[in-house]
Amino acid sequence: MTLTSPHLGTSSTWTDARLLHALEEVVEQELNRHLKVAKDWMPHEYVPWSDGRNFPGIFEDGEAWGKEQSKVTEIGRIALVVNLLTEDNLPSYHHEIASLFGRDGAWGTWVHRWTAEEGRHGIVMRDYLLASRAVDPDKLEAFRMSHMSEGFESDNRHSMLHSVAYVAFQELATRISHRNTGHQSGDPVCDRMLARIATDENLHMVFYRNLLKAAFELAPDLTMQAVRDVVVDFRMPGHGIPGFERAAAQMAIGEVYNMRIHHDDVLQPVLRFLKVMEIDGLGPDGLKAQEELGLYMGGLDAEASKFDERLAARKARMAARKG
């Protein structure tokens, strides 16, 4: 499966600049495919504006926020805040990918299109949360200021291949997190909104996944190492959110996102599509990375099974108390 370019050299001589140039045609093809299947949508059409009313401030009739004012469940509220704050750091994400991929040609067109589409997600989520009074608006703004003031630096900014590999998994992880948040929210309006966002995230995943497939054909050893590194060290871009660890634990218990979901619904689908464990013709470094990836996935599956058992036991205890 090792393919080399007659004018760009063997896989051992690939640099980020050479890979960016070699993948430009694939980016253009994927961009054109994306634009054909992506559907524009209006964020304001997904917001229950009639539920909205004034908050305290310049309005004399402002009503203070209270949990009882919203249909959203507690786990839904926690996940919505994490998901929105993650979307809020879009300026930093744009800077990261624009610096890596460039602003010219097909790469640049994709960077700007992706940014524009992602911008809708933050708009509609914040409008929904405020109109439906799903969260404390003062705390939400305080969290936003704190999170965005810290900025964002990708763990994979040192390498274009690592960055492509990361977003192939991260976009799917985001899709799954949004979709499960909708299911757990307790509000059909919220569920429909997040389903719309998840559709975008899935298309973004397909773009990067197909790009990663092309990278495997060009530089299989380097791409295998990048995938290994990204999978083993994966963490969501919202990890810098205030209180993220506690929120992530609650989301795991609430079955919005946990180890089992990460293994079964995020890592495995992408790895299976790419047939990563079936790629042959690898050199020593690629083979080592492939073996280590397989071992890690086996270990993660075992850890996920332990988590499943603990979660089932917890549910049983809670059911017993209610009974």
Rounded to the nearest 5°, which phi and psi values hold at 5? -95, 135
Give the pLDDT confidence score for residue 2 in this predicted structure.
Answer: 32
Q: Is 121 annotated as a binding residue?
A: yes
Percent of the chain topping pLDDT 90:
69
Please, which pLDDT band fits residue 3 given cuts at 50, 70 and 90?
A: very low
In a domain, 61, yes or no: no
Residue 46 lies in a domain: no
Instruction: Report how far residue 100's alpha carbon sits from residue 268's, in angstroms, rounded to the nearest whole number.
Output: 27
State the pLDDT confidence band at 90, using cuts at 50, 70 and 90: confident
Q: Which residue has the tokens 């939400």?
A: 140
Helices (H), the chain: 16-37, 74-88, 90-101, 105-131, 137-150, 160-184, 188-218, 220-232, 244-253, 259-261, 268-274, 284-322
Q: Is the pLDDT of residue 89 over 90?
A: no
Q: Is the pLDDT of residue 299 over 80?
A: yes
Question: What mean pLDDT is reported for the chain?
Answer: 90
Is the residue at 54 inside a domain?
no
Q: What is the mean pLDDT of residues 78-92?
A: 90
C-alpha 257/C-alpha 180 separation (Å) is: 8
- Answer yes or no: is 201 a known binding residue: yes
Separation between Cα atoms, residue 212 and residue 34, nearest integer Å: 16
Query: CA–CA separation, 10 vs 317, rounded Å?
Result: 59
* C-alpha to C-alpha distance for 109 and 88, rounded to whole angstroms: 21
CATH number of the structural domain spanning residue 128 = 1.10.620.20
Within a domain: 52 = no
Please name which of 142, 151, 174, 167 lies closest in space to residue 256, comparing C-alpha atoms: 174
Domain that holds residue 142: 16-38+67-322
Query: Could you give the angle at which helices 188-218 and 105-131 cross, rounded to 10 degrees?
Result: 160
Q: Is the pLDDT of residue 252 over 80?
A: yes
Rounded Cα distance, 157 and 160, in Å: 7
Asked, for residue 285, whether it belongs to a domain, the answer is yes
Kindly state the average pLDDT of the residues 39-61: 92
Q: Is residue 2 part of a domain?
A: no
Q: Is 204 annotated as a binding residue?
A: yes
CA dist., res. 107 & res. 86, Å (int): 23
* CA dist., res. 280 & res. 289, Å (int): 12
What is the pLDDT, as a whole number, of residue 22?
A: 92
Partnered with residue 5 across adjacent β-strands are 9
Phi, then psi, of 277 in degrees rounded to 5:
-80, -5
Domain for residue 11, yes or no?
Answer: no
DSSP assignment letter at 54: P
User: What letter would DSSP give residue 307?
Assistant: H
What integer pLDDT is reported at residue 8 of this predicted model? 38
DSSP string, 243-287: THHHHHHHHHHTTSS-HHHIIIIIIHHHHHHHTGGG--S--HHHH
| Banded model confidence at residue 4, pLDDT cuts 50, 70, 90 | very low
Mean pLDDT of 291-309: 94
Structure tokens at 11: 């896989």
Q: Give the pLDDT of residue 12.
A: 57
Among 213, 233, 225, 231, CA closest to 283: 225
Residue count of the chain, please give it: 323
pLDDT band at 5 (very low <50, low <70, confident <90, very high): very low
Residue range 56-73: average pLDDT?
89
Give the angle 116-119-120 at the CA atoms, nearest 5°. 100
The total number of structural domains that make up the chain = 1
Q: Is residue 133 part of a domain?
A: yes
